[in-house]
């Protein structure tokens, strides 16, 4: 079913955090703006979410962290301590509330890179009620495609380094108009990534619809405990970060859905329908896409047999029923799931079933 439910909107807590530890700068000095109890140990840098060509991601990465769960609590074990880019969050609930200062700093780091904020074209508002045809791509390979306002690149910039996006995300309809969906492995990998920035509609170094940072991240706790490939979905509630020197109203004004439009989300969608898959390679500032029927790889996994989706495309949306008037469609999956997204020949998605629908409801209420 496609969601249209409405409900109460929780109050985000500026500067709030669930279960995180003292965040320090790279010289070891505490950041008083972001301090909170329970810091996680050091973890690996953000994964791109895809393996090398023809080889699943899990076969290419050494295990860096072991999660031990017992007595209602979790202990994260690793080789180092105090990674400022990771936070434990609330492990039992699968929730993280980023500190406001962290989001501001991450957006500033993206702006310090080779990106220009320039207003993009107005977004279509009135649905046509029709569906554009989705003929399969020939050959079945990803190719450059036009940017779409609700789809963008997800950054996790490091201080002192040129910012690079590591995953893809998209805006989905929600009662508060502030929701983004991506793969869970894009936001939680040994801990919640603290410095996340979403740039919808990114193309050719131009940021047309602003920079947005999370106020809340929701993942299934079973993703945290054992990286269950059937739970590789995450929802982010986001706020806009205005240019440096702007006032609070400019920083926080507006809802992303009003700026970019939003994809509809459908749970328990049948396999076998034609879909469009879009993603941002981590070495390109423009999207690639492919059209192909979505198959059932298993009762809990969808398969998209189109080659050429490399590192950085994880979290990219699988869309059916594109509306020619708005360019938006119905989201039935995101690149992730089996082998954390697949390999160069095939992409996967966790099926958006009842448990993902429950995660959506939790994220929006």
Convert the pLDDT of each residue in 75-130 to its tens digit. Answer: 333 323 457 789 999 999 999 999 999 999 999 999 999 999 999 998 987 888 88
Q: What is the pLDDT of residue 243?
A: 65
Is residue 143 within 8 A of residue 276, CB to CB? The reply is: no
Average pLDDT, the chain: 80
Is residue 148 within 8 A of residue 329, CB to CB? The reply is: no
Is residue 87 within 8 A of residue 39, CB to CB? The reply is: yes
Of the pLDDT bands very low, low, confident and very high (cuts 50, 70, 90), residue 34 is very low
Which residues contact residue 41 at a Cβ distance below 8 angstroms, ignoring those fewer than 6 apart?
A: 65, 76, 77, 78, 80, 81, 82, 83, 191
Distance, first Cα to last Cα, the chain = 18
Q: What is the pLDDT of residue 84?
A: 78
Q: What is the pLDDT of residue 102?
A: 93
What Cα–Cα distance (Å) separates residue 120 from each residue in 202, 246, 264, 354? 10, 20, 22, 36
What's the rounded mean pLDDT across residues 263-276? 96
Q: What is the pLDDT of residue 204?
A: 94
Tokens 């448990």 found at: 355
Res 202 pLDDT > 90: yes
Q: What is the pLDDT of residue 253?
A: 56
Portion of the chain with pLDDT greater than 90, in percent: 67
Res 26 pLDDT > 80: no
Q: What is the pLDDT of residue 61?
A: 35
Element (H, E) at 318: strand 317-320
The residue length of the chain stands at 365
Q: What is the pLDDT of residue 128?
A: 84
184 SS3 class: helix
Res 191 pLDDT > 50: yes
Q: What is the pLDDT of residue 126?
A: 84
Whether the full predicted model's pTM is greater than 0.85, yes or no, is: no
Res 157 pLDDT > 60: yes
Beta-strand runs (E) in 112-257: 116-117, 143-144, 151-155, 165-172, 179-182, 192-193, 197-200, 206-207, 211-219, 234-241
Tokens of 140: 């079945």
Q: What is the pLDDT of residue 193?
A: 96
Q: What is the pLDDT of residue 82?
A: 59
Q: What is the pLDDT of residue 132?
A: 85
Is residue 214 within 8 A of residue 103, CB to CB? The reply is: yes
Q: What is the pLDDT of residue 161?
A: 81
What's the rounded mean pLDDT across residues 315-343? 95
Which residues contact residue 89 at a Cβ distance below 8 angstroms, ignoring those fewer than 6 apart?
A: 17, 18, 19, 20, 95, 96, 97, 188, 191, 192, 217
Q: What is the pLDDT of residue 97?
A: 97
């Amino acid at each position: 079913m496609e969601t249209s439910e409405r409900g109460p909107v929780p109050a985000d807590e500026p500067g709030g955090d669930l279960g995180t530890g003292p965040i320090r700068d790279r010289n070891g000095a505490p950041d008083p703006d972001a301090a909170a109890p329970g810091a996680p140990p050091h973890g690996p840098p953000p994964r791109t979410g895809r393996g090398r060509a023809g080889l699943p991601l899990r076969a290419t990465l050494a295990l860096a962290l072991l999660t031990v769960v017992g007595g209602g609590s979790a202990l994260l074990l690793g080789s180092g301590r105090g990674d400022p880019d990771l936070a434990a969050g609330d492990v039992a609930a699968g929730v993280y509330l980023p500190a406001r200062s962290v989001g501001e700093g991450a957006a500033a780091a993206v702006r310090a890179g080779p990106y220009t904020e320039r207003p993009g074209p107005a977004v279509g508002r009135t649905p046509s009620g029709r569906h554009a045809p989705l003929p399969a791509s020939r050959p079945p390979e990803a190719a450059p495609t036009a940017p779409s306002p609700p789809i963008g690149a997800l950054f996790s910039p490091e201080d002192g380094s040129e910012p690079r996006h590591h995953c893809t995300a998209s805006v989905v309809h929600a009662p508060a108009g502030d929701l983004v969906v991506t793969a869970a492995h894009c936001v939680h990998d040994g801990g919640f990534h603290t410095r996340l920035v979403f740039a919808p509609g990114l193309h050719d170094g131009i940021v047309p619809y602003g920079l947005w940072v999370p106020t809340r991240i929701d993942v299934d706790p079973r993703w945290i405990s054992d990286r269950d490939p059937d739970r590789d979905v995450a929802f982010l509630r986001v706020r806009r970060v205005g240019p440096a020197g702007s006032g609070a109203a400019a920083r926080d004004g507006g809802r992303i859905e009003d700026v970019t439009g939003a994809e509809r989300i459908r749970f328990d969608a049948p396999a076998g329908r034609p879909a469009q898959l879009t993603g941002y390679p981590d070495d390109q500032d423009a999207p690639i896409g492919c059209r192909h029927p979505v198959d059932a790889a298993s009762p809990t996994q969808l398969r998209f047999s189109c080659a050429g989706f490399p590192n950085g495309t994880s979290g990219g949306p699988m869309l059916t029923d594109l509306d020619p008037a708005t360019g938006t469609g119905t989201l039935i999956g995101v690149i992730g799931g089996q082998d954390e997204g697949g390999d160069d020949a095939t992409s996967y998605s966790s099926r958006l079933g009842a448990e993902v629908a429950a995660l959506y409801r939790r994220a929006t209420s």
